[in-house]
Each structure stands twice: as structure tokens, then as C-alpha cells.
Structure 1
Amino acid sequence: MTEIIDWVAVDWGTSNLRAWGIAADGSVVFEKTSPKGMGKLTREEFPGALSELLEGVPPARNGQLDVLICGMAGARQGWMEAPYLEAPADLRGLSEGAVRPLMVDSPIVPAILPGVCQKAGADNVMRGEETQLLGLAALMPGFSGMVCMPGTHSKWAQLSGTRIERFSTAMTGELFEVLRTHSVLRHSLVGDLDGPARAVGFDLGAAAGLEHPEQLLGTLFQVRASSLLSDRQPDWCAGYLSGLLIGTEIGSNRHLIGSQSVPLIGSPALCALYARVLDMAGAKGESRDATEVVLAGLKAARSFAA
């Protein structure tokens, strides 16, 4: 590798580890990935995982390789806990809360950004999403409104410029998997879940969730009842369950959305589903590339630390 690396940006998730070499002009020189996410490592294994990923990357002109990390490496069960910033908070202060584990006999100098917490009777936490929000603020200067980050644990955040005012978490993705594999609904979800009827079931479930989010517990059993009484197939049932959960999530937040477009940060497929349900709710979702957003956030955090 002949290109000169100014620093390395790292997104350390629960399942995977991603790194980008950043040149002095901000361009990306390389991208590296590893399956060694936080959930697969003991605390003592983090330095080795990072060294392995960055093997062959030369240090900068000063002889050291600065690495700025966001995500689960800073969790209590991660490499070194980075205490949360408390919302409301200006995300330009993320770097001030970074922790710096030592890597003995290595040119790598890591810094781990903190997450954000919320207290005062509305306890909540995030790690990694705060860097995405800072990146969104950098990519959309002056934005003020709700942001949705769909995923296993979806986040909804009120963002005003670089300031996060409040946020909430919906365990939508995890709940889908728990119900699919460990509840009575599993008997209706055996077979091909991605057949042609999935889209039909999704729209019906989303409409039910949007209209009556407060009735989720009662409506969930319709997945099982519909397969028994109306011969609904597994693909329809999977679509209905997914739509019902996403519809309930969006319906519960509808009063906060207003008429402004909601930025969606996550996988393209999942963001497309959320955009579809937002459209059904009379709102609009705008998908943003998650990699672009997290890179913008890491770059912004580093610039504010300079």
C-alpha cells in the first residue's frame, strides 16, 4: 500500500467490523471488513482484531496511525466503556467524550467515541447511531426534524442541526424474530416466507398497525388465526407480521413526524419498507446510504476534535 493514510475511520458493530483509510483530503483510500464484531470478542481480543484488520497499513508521517472508532467497541461489554453523553446533547462534543485504550508496541492509536443516553424517566441508550446522526447533520446542514434508523432496534431521534433533543427505541426487528421463532405464531411461519403473497400481507398488516397501534397485542394473533381459518400461507403471514410491527412503530410516532420528509438510515431493503409505510401514513421517507452517513459522522467528529 503506497497511499499515505492520514487516519482510519472504524465502525465496530455487534456482528462486524468495518474500517476505512482516510487521506488528508478526506478521500477514502481503502475499505476493510472483518466478521470480528463486538459480540464475538472478549475484551482482551479487541487490540488483536484491530491489528489484524489493519495489518500492512503504514502509519502516517508522524509515525502513528490514528484510529477513530464508533459503535459497540465502547459498550460496557466491549473494549473500553465510553460513558454516554446525556441528551439533549450537541453531537459536536462526541470527541470530547472519547476514551483511548492503549495498544502497547503498536503504532495504532485508537480513540472510541461515546454513545448517547436519555434519562429523566425516559431511559434510553444508543451506540453508533449518534455518529450517524452527526453525519446526517453534516450532509444535510440546517436539518431539523425526526430521523428514523430502522434495524433490530430501530431508533427515532429528534435532531436540530447537530443537537439531538430526544430519542426512542423500538425493538421491532428483534420482536419479529422472537415471534417468528419462539411464539405460537411460528406454526404459521414455516416454509417459504418470501413468496408473492408477502407483499399483500405486508400492506394489510401495515394498515392495521397504522390505524390502531394501541391494539398490537390483540392483532398479533391474527397471524395464527388467518392461517388456520383463511388458509393464509407462510409468505402472507410473514408479510402481515412484518407490516403490523412496522405499521405499529410508525403509527406510534405519527404525531411527531408532521409533513416533513423523514431521513431513513439503514439497509436499503428495510428502509424501502419503512418508506412504504410512511407513504401509507401520509408522510414521506428519504433513504440515506448508511455507509456514507457513518463516514460523514466520523469525519465530522474528528474535525471537531482538531
Structure 2
Amino acid sequence: MAEFATWIAVDWGTSNLRAWGMSADGAVISSANSDKGMGKLAPAEFPAVLTEVAAELSPAPGTVDVLICGMAGARQGWLEAPYLDAPADLRDLAAHAVRPAMENAALSVAILPGICQRQGGEDVMRGEETQLLGLASLAPDYAGLVCMPGTHSKWARLDGTRIENFTTAMTGEMFDLLKTHSVLRHSLTGPLDGPDRAEGFRAGAADGLDRPDNLLGRLFGVRAAALLSDRQPDWSAGYLSGLLIGTEIAAKRKQIGAASVPLIGSPALCALYWQVLDMSGASGHPVDATEIVLAGLKAARQHLA
């Protein structure tokens, strides 16, 4: 007989959502994905999407708890879950969860809040705070910087379950904007994943680490290198990526020192950050993003009222 899910864990992002049917002891017994992320939905559409996804997860008869992290709790999402102010103990996330109305009485939904920073520079995160709680639950003695590469990369200082402060770098978005909408697009038209991309990445990362103050000048160098040195699109794409990541890591160099930084994100992107951290004299160790978010949702559920 197939096992029923006693509760459902959901990571609801801007573009997609991932959901897992969980057993009472925290094991994953089923999973489902949907491309109906927050950015594609009006608030009134969220309940039907959740009901549709939950039906794929073999929910147990009766009422099943659903715990959601991510952009469903944004102001433009399903129901806003107001930010918890940093510094904060991530175990308090569950106490600030919001409960949207559901016509489907079989699903009891709670949405976790994000974290904001008002002092020392305004900043916000949604979803990453649950990953940090997951890391704290799997490595309870860890204290130091955590890097979460992505469209908007996050750097957080964690001490056990306490997030002290964090910053955001728009590195991924800047790459896309420059590739698509700037003069650099003329040097990035064609295959971008060719054999010279790795060489370009190393060169860009070295320039970003060595001269982060010259970022604006080196950006135009992408175009100049194509015109004067016949650099091809794959080299140019690698250089631009390396330059941006190198500049991002250079800004954290004093804080990182020679530490090994946990990296939470896609394997390919974490590998690039690991490479640049190694070039800087530090190190990185990728952590499985799915394992981390599930650990965070399980930890938060223990404190859910």
C-alpha cells in the first residue's frame, strides 16, 4: 500500500514551485513541480494551484498541513507575511507565519515570513531564510558567512540559528541585463558555452578580484576585447561572468578571510563561486539546495503553532 503524506512542504518561488509530500518522521514520500510561480499568479489563483499540486502528493485523508516558504508570502504574492527583522533567531519564523484562507478544508496552509534588515543598510530576503534555518539544523555549530548564489546573491552571517546581518548582490541579474540590453550584447551574440568560456571566466574573475574598483572600466573591456582581439562570444560570456562574481567576492574578502564558505544554490553556479573563492585564497563547499530547504521547512514546522 502506498504511503500517505501527513504534511506538505512547499518552496514557492517567483518562476516555479516545488512541493514534497512528507511522512510524519520527515521523510520525502512524493514530490511535484509546477511552473506556476508567484510571478504568474494573481492572489486569488494560489489556492487552486496549491490544490492541484497537492493532489499529486498522495495526501492523507482528512486535513493535511501545508508549510510554504518563498515568494508566496511576498506583498505581490498570495498573502503577505511581514518580514522578521534581523538580527533574528530563525526558529522564530514559524511564530510569524500567516494563514491564507482556503476553500479546500483538506489543506491547512501556513506561509513563513522573510527577513529584512533596517539598520546598517536596508535589505530583504524571502526563501533564503528557510535555507539558512536548514543549514543551522544540519550544521548547528556553524558560525560565519553563508553564500547563496543566484539572480540576487545573498551573503548572510549566521551563528547557529541566529542571522546577524546580510547583503544582496544583483550579480545574476546584472549579467542578464548587460548581456541583453547593453552595448556588450554585440559581443555576446552566438554560442556562449564554447571551449573558451572557462578561460574567459578565469581572466574575468582575476580582474574582478584584483581591481573591484575598476568594474565599470573592465565591463567595457568585454566589448573592446571582441573588437580588437577577436574574442568570441563564449570567451566574452565567461569573462563577464567571472568579472561580476570576482567583484562580488572581492567586496567580502576581508570578512571571508581563509574560511570555507557554505554555498547554497544550483550546482553549476556554486561551482563557479567555489572556483573564485579558491582564487581569492579562501574556499567554498556546496550544499545541496533541496536538502537544505527541506531541512529548513522541517525545522520550522517544529515551532509552528
TM-score interval, normalised by the smaller of the two chains: over 0.9
Asked if the contact 2:21/2:58 (under 8 Å) is kept, the reply is no
Paired residue for 1:32? 32
Asked if the contact 2:65/2:107 (under 8 Å) is kept, the reply is yes
Shift of 1:87: 0.3
Amino acid at match of 1:208: D
Paired residue for 1:124? 123
Amino acid at match of 1:159: L
Paired residue for 2:226? 227
Shift of 1:268: 0.2
Q: How many residue pairs were aligned?
A: 305
Q: Is the counterpart of residue 280 in structure 1 residue 285 in structure 2?
A: no
Paired residue for 1:12? 12
Q: In the aligned structure 1, how far is the partner of 2:10 from the partner of 2:58?
A: 16
Shift of 1:211: 0.6
Asked if the contact 1:58/1:65 (under 8 Å) is kept, the reply is no
Shift of 1:136: 0.4
Shift of 1:57: 4.8
1:274-300 Cα shifts (integer Å, max 9, x gaps): 000000000000000000000000000
Asked if the contact 2:204/2:241 (under 8 Å) is kept, the reply is yes
Q: Is the counterpart of residue 140 in structure 1 residue 139 in structure 2?
A: yes
Identity of aligned residues (%): 68
Amino acid at match of 2:302: S
Name the CA shift for 1:182/1:246 in 2 (closer, same or farther; >3 Å).
Answer: same
Q: In the aligned structure 2, how far is the partner of 1:159 from the partner of 1:262?
A: 11
Which deviates more, 127-136 or 255-264?
255-264
Which deviates more, 20-29 or 167-176?
20-29
Asked if the contact 2:116/2:122 (under 8 Å) is kept, the reply is yes
Paired residue for 1:55? 55
Secondary structure, counterpart of 1:8 in structure 2: strand
Structure 1 residues 1-306: aligned runs within 5 Å: 2-55=2-55, 57=57, 59-60=59-60, 63-305=62-304
Asked if the contact 1:114/1:127 (under 8 Å) is kept, the reply is yes
Amino acid at match of 2:174: L
Q: In the aligned structure 2, how far is the partner of 1:39 from the partner of 1:4?
A: 31
Asked if the contact 2:32/2:57 (under 8 Å) is kept, the reply is no
Q: In the aligned structure 1, how far is the partner of 2:189 from the partner of 2:162?
A: 45
Q: In the aligned structure 2, how far is the partner of 1:297 from the partner of 1:54?
A: 20
Structure 2 spans left out of the alignment, 5+ residues: none
Q: In the aligned structure 1, how far is the partner of 2:39 from the partner of 2:228?
A: 42
Asked if the contact 1:206/1:245 (under 8 Å) is kept, the reply is yes
Asked if the contact 1:261/1:286 (under 8 Å) is kept, the reply is yes
Amino acid at match of 1:230: S
Q: In the aligned structure 2, how far is the partner of 1:189 from the partner of 1:44?
A: 41
Q: In the aligned structure 1, how far is the partner of 2:153 from the partner of 2:104?
A: 40
Asked if the contact 1:200/1:239 (under 8 Å) is kept, the reply is yes
RMSD between superposed Cα atoms in Å: 1.2
Shift of 1:59: 4.9
1:198-229 Cα shifts (integer Å, max 9, x gaps): 11110000000001111111111000000111
Shift of 1:259: 1.9
Shift of 1:304: 2.3
Structure 1 spans left out of the alignment, 5+ residues: none
Q: In the aligned structure 2, how far is the partner of 1:120 from the partner of 1:160?
A: 19
Asked if the contact 1:115/1:126 (under 8 Å) is kept, the reply is yes
Shift of 1:3: 1.2
Amino acid at match of 1:33: N
Q: In the aligned structure 2, how far is the partner of 1:276 from the partner of 1:59?
A: 42
Asked if the contact 1:157/1:167 (under 8 Å) is kept, the reply is yes
TM-score between both structures, scaled by the size of structure 2? 0.98
Secondary structure, counterpart of 1:151 in structure 2: coil
